[in-house]
Structure 1
């Protein structure tokens, strides 16, 4: 079985020794899938840190097989998929918690949102999905919350007291203060996608546009939009693009612009911090988002 070299490198970098062990076990896990579910796994998609491939079942129906390293993130995804059942999310058909296996409904043709090629239309499609996706958070859940995101940023500041990569210590502390204030003043908790962006939105002849690959998160609806805001930005006019997205989302979803912009600032700081590598590289779009959300908030509310 041939596995993409970039995928193997990503797994080793992200999961260290556990990743190497899992890569060695992956061929036998895939063989187990083919035997248990009577399927033939096809050539994988372009991979990041999970093995994802289409498969053909015995009855010729097509599905998607996703194999992950078992752990908390995988369990969160399973819980989110279950909770989002009958929403704008592809269906979880079966799973194996111990082996990290998901058998998912395949969306056909499965084009990503970026293939629409029209910024305004893409944003309206995304807004329509969220209208039919977000639901009130369950009373009991093991899913992560935005309060845990706040805690994560606090831990980063403790580890990097003078700043991290391009992020100044002042920006880190400002983002933490906003996180704390936003979590204290949040009025409603919602079940969020947790990683909502252009490449996690696919076309379906049967359902229309659908979302995939939820991380599962509990918090305010405004928070779930920030990852979309920071993705697929043009090299020029990023400020105008984010501003237009903010205005469309707040109008279509009846959201609070001030809270959307404040969540945008603190999540941009956190996302940039997550992206800083050992060699000093980082996500420039995420970093640019910090100043854009700050400037937009100042423009509208100060």
Structure 2
């Protein structure tokens, strides 16, 4: 069995020895799934951190099988799939083996394939409006407090510079995280990784979200990754500004908190892309913190530093 090279690297980088062992056992796991659910698993899609492939059912019809290293990632996705609305339907699962069986979305085109920005934002707003629910009781899902902890850890580990970011930028992001978490009034269960590639067409004028991470936080936070994706090489400021305006209106969001979350999360998300060995990082993502900082100054006639000083 040949495994996609990028997928193998991701698994081994993220899960170390556990990941290497899981990759070695992957053929046996696929056979186990075929026997347990009476499936014929076909060639996988382009893979990142999970083995995802269409599969034929013995009685007819297709499903999608998702295999991941057992643990919090798969368990969190399972819980999110059970609670969120307007999400790809979950058929069955075996969490001990890291297996999710999902309904196959047809035709399955992603939101990234559309070109009209206004239409893209309208669809995204409809999906988000339907998807978000109240925080489920006794949940073990991560929250934006965990993201704040991640940011603070990065600050401590990067005392000078991390990729394009100074330690001052990292600390500012951590302070914004702390303020927004402290002042959050009504945390919700949100997708946790909402962007163009995780919204699929499900028939005429119908779209659903896939691959939820499951996160407790605000809708304003959940949209930031969407704003950062599918940006042009030139003119990213205007694209993000228009997305912010349209989604703020359509979802009745708090613009100030949205832009502050935009700054905080775009620093964190960009920091995650930095390869400390090579120094490489995602250059489209890394321009976003300055864009959100400029948008905040433009809309509220003060800098984020001024805001933090007054808020402290």
Query: TM-score surpassing 0.5?
Result: yes
Q: Distance in 2 between matches of 1:24 and 1:212?
A: 27
Q: Which runs of 4+ in 1 moved over 4 A?
A: none
Summarize the alignment of residues 56-67 of structure 1 with structure 2, pairs less than 5 Å apart: 56-67=56-67
* Residue matched to 1:75: 75
Deviations along 1:4-63, whole A, 9 cap, x unmatched? 222212222222211111110000000001000001001110011110000010111110
User: Is contact 1:12-1:19 (8 Å) kept?
Assistant: yes
Deviation at 1:202, TM superposition (A): 0.4
* Residue matched to 2:18: 18
Deviation at 1:138, TM superposition (A): 1.7
Summarize the alignment of residues 8-157 of structure 1 with structure 2, pairs less than 5 Å apart: 8-84=8-84, 87-157=85-155
Q: Which of 183, 186, 191 matches 2:184?
A: 186
User: Is contact 1:144-1:218 (8 Å) kept?
Assistant: yes
Q: Distance in 2 between matches of 1:150 and 1:8?
A: 29
Q: Distance in 2 between matches of 1:225 and 1:5?
A: 31
Q: Distance in 2 between matches of 1:6 and 1:272?
A: 20
User: Is contact 1:11-1:49 (8 Å) kept?
Assistant: yes
Q: Distance in 2 between matches of 1:107 and 1:246?
A: 28
SS in 2 for 1:88: coil
Q: Which of 207, 210, 217 matches 1:209?
A: 207
Deviation at 1:114, TM superposition (A): 1.4
Gapped regions of structure 2 (runs ≥ 5): 302-312
* Residue matched to 1:290: 289
TM-score normalised by structure 2 residue count: 0.94
* Residue matched to 1:259: 257
Deviations along 1:85-116, whole A, 9 cap, x unmatched? xx110111000111100000000010111112
Gapped regions of structure 1 (runs ≥ 5): none
* Residue matched to 1:268: 266
Deviations along 1:115-167, whole A, 9 cap, x unmatched? 12212111110111001000111232100010111111111111112231111
* Residue matched to 2:162: 164
Q: Distance in 1 between matches of 2:118 and 2:200?
A: 17
Q: Distance in 2 between matches of 1:131 and 1:143?
A: 20
Deviation at 1:197, TM superposition (A): 0.4
Deviation at 1:288, TM superposition (A): 0.3
SS in 1 for 2:207: strand
TM-score normalised by structure 1 residue count: 0.97
User: Is contact 1:157-1:163 (8 Å) kept?
Assistant: no
Q: Distance in 2 between matches of 1:76 and 1:151?
A: 18
Aligned residues: 300
Cα RMSD for the two superposed structures: 1.1
C-alpha distance 273-285 of structure 1, shift in aligned 2 (>3 A)? same
* Residue matched to 2:219: 221
Deviation at 1:206, TM superposition (A): 7.4
SS in 1 for 2:223: helix
